[in-house]
């Protein structure tokens, strides 16, 4: 640690992502074109970072017996270095953040209370339990946690709530890896249970969000230790359980679809994105789509029967965004299926064709992130 900074990795080398076979491994190529197996120290979805060719920073392993050749320590994203070491958030909190927030107090890591273990105990005139979360998802100035559902994260917050009601002092601290973050929100789109838990927690204890910057040599410094936090809006969205959604569908073989009212279109192999909405029971609607066995009712039901894979991306919102979202998706697509899924509106289609995986399409991802981070409030893209 030097001059208000902390080095969390050293001797980084450039590399480029090829693909990610599972949560903990990335296949990368180094500057000489050699393929390497890299440990991924962040188990989140990382959708925004997983495009083939994504620039990375890797650190070679010094122990040859390891099953991977290196660790993917950071990504180079939109002109920033974003650290991937989710466990390093505790080091940042313990060395840079908590001493500033709680000066002249003892910072004790990994403190156990009953059957629960928390990241820190801050001991001074009184004792304070601290739970730290690492947040790498931030778009359009809005950071969100988590990027995928986390039962463990919700449990940690619920444990702090219970201890707080028993008179123990506690707080939740988010380390935000994007230095340009302007606001933090729990992610209602991916984990409504966590949203509701954090909102309850904030009524009982401090919830803090701190942004940091990382440089190419692995040094981290605090940028803003008082990022504004909104838990009320996500809590309301989680309770309402309404919004719009995308289904990313893989079709492996040419398929003729006998569809009511629009004939029998022939769908080519590739990827399709379907845009839908639910004014109530959004979560249940998506769960129905993901079930293979169901009564066929909507156009999308017939297609899902033939698909080899389906991924769902909900966008919780009180605004009527289905047609607006469909029009924005259409601008990124290669083609659309006329009349599909739009019998009750004036759109040409709500089903769009992509010859390659649309989750590797930066333009498409920007649409998704816009609606999840800003557009869900009804703000037009302009």
Render pLDDT for 286-341 as a digit per residue (tens, 0 to 9): 999 999 887 877 889 889 999 999 999 999 999 999 999 999 999 999 999 999 98
Q: Is the pTM of this model over 0.85?
A: yes
Render pLDDT for 170-221 as a digit per residue (tens, 0 to 9): 999 999 999 999 999 999 999 999 999 999 999 999 999 999 999 999 999 9
Render pLDDT for 277-288 as a digit per residue (tens, 0 to 9): 999 999 999 999
Token duo for residue 372: 């999840």
Classify domain 88-238 by CATH architecture. Answer: 3-Layer(aba) Sandwich (3.40)
Query: Strand ranges (DSSP E) for 217-333?
Result: 219-224, 243-251, 255-256, 266-267, 270-278, 309-316
> In this structure, which long-range contacts are made by residues 310-313, counting pairs with CB atoms below 8 Å and at least 24 apart in sequence?
310/247, 310/248, 310/249, 310/250, 311/247, 311/248, 311/359, 312/245, 312/246, 312/247, 312/248, 312/286, 313/189, 313/245, 313/246, 313/247, 313/248, 313/368
Q: So what's the pLDDT on residue 62?
A: 82
The domains of the chain are located at 7-79, 88-238, 241-377
Q: So what's the pLDDT on residue 2?
A: 43
Farthest-apart Cα atoms in the chain, separation: 75
**What percentage of the chain exceeds 70 in pLDDT?**
99
CATH of domain 7-79: 2.40.50.580
The yes-or-no verdict on residue 1 having pLDDT over 50 is no
* Arithmetic mean of pLDDT, 72-84: 98
Q: List the single range of 56-65, 149-158, 244-253, 349-358 with lowest mean pLDDT.
A: 56-65
The yes-or-no verdict on residue 382 having pLDDT over 80 is no
SS3 content of the chain, % helix, strand, coil (to 5): 25, 35, 40
User: In which band, very low, low, confident or very high, does the pLDDT at 120 lie, cut at 50, 70 and 90?
Assistant: very high
How far lies 142's CA from each of 177, 192, 360, in Å? 12, 17, 22
Render pLDDT for 207-261 as a digit per residue (tens, 0 to 9): 999 999 999 999 999 999 999 999 999 999 999 999 999 999 999 999 888 777 7
Q: What angle do CA 142, 145, 55 make, to 5 degrees?
A: 75
The yes-or-no verdict on residue 343 having pLDDT over 90 is no
């Amino acid at each position: 640690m030097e001059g208000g900074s902390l080095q969390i990795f050293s001797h980084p080398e450039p590399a480029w992502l090829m693909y990610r076979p599972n949560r903990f491994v990335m296949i990368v190529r180094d500057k000489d074109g050699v393929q390497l197996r890299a440990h991924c120290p962040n188990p989140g979805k990382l959708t925004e970072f997983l495009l083939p060719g994504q620039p990375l920073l890797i650190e070679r392993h010094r122990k040859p017996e390891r099953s991977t050749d290196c660790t993917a320590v950071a990504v180079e994203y939109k002109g920033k270095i974003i650290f991937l070491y989710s466990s390093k958030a505790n080091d940042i909190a313990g060395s840079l953040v908590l001493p500033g927030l709680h000066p002249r107090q003892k910072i004790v890591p990994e403190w156990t209370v009953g059957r629960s273990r928390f990241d820190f105990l801050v001991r001074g005139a009184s004792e304070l339990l601290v739970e730290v979360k690492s947040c790498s998802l931030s778009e359009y100035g809005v950071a969100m946690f988590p990027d995928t559902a986390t039962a463990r994260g919700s449990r940690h917050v619920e444990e702090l709530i219970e201890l707080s009601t028993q008179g123990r002092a506690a707080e939740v601290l988010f380390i935000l890896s994007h230095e340009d973050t302007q606001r933090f929100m729990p992610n209602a789109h991916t984990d409504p249970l966590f949203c509701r838990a954090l909102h309850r927690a904030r009524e009982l204890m401090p919830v803090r969000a701190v942004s940091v910057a990382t440089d190419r040599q692995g040094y981290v410094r605090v940028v803003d230790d008082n990022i504004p936090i909104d838990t009320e809006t996500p809590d309301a969205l989680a309770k309402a359980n309404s919004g719009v959604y995308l289904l990313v569908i893989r079709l492996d073989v040419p398929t003729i679809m006998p569809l009511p009212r629009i004939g029998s279109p022939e769908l080519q192999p590739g990827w399709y994105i379907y845009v839908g909405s639910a004014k109530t029971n959004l979560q249940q609607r998506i769960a129905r789509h993901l079930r293979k066995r169901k009564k066929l009712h909507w156009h999308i039901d017939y297609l899902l029967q033939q698909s080899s894979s389906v991924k769902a991306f909900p966008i919780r919102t009180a605004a009527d965004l289905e047609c607006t979202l469909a029009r924005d998706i259409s601008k990124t697509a290669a083609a659309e299926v006329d009349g599909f899924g739009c019998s009750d509106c004036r759109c040409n289609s709500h089903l769009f064709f992509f010859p390659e995986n649309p989750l590797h399409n930066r333009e498409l991802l920007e649409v998704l992130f816009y609606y999840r981070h800003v557009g869900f409030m009804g703000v037009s893209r302009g």
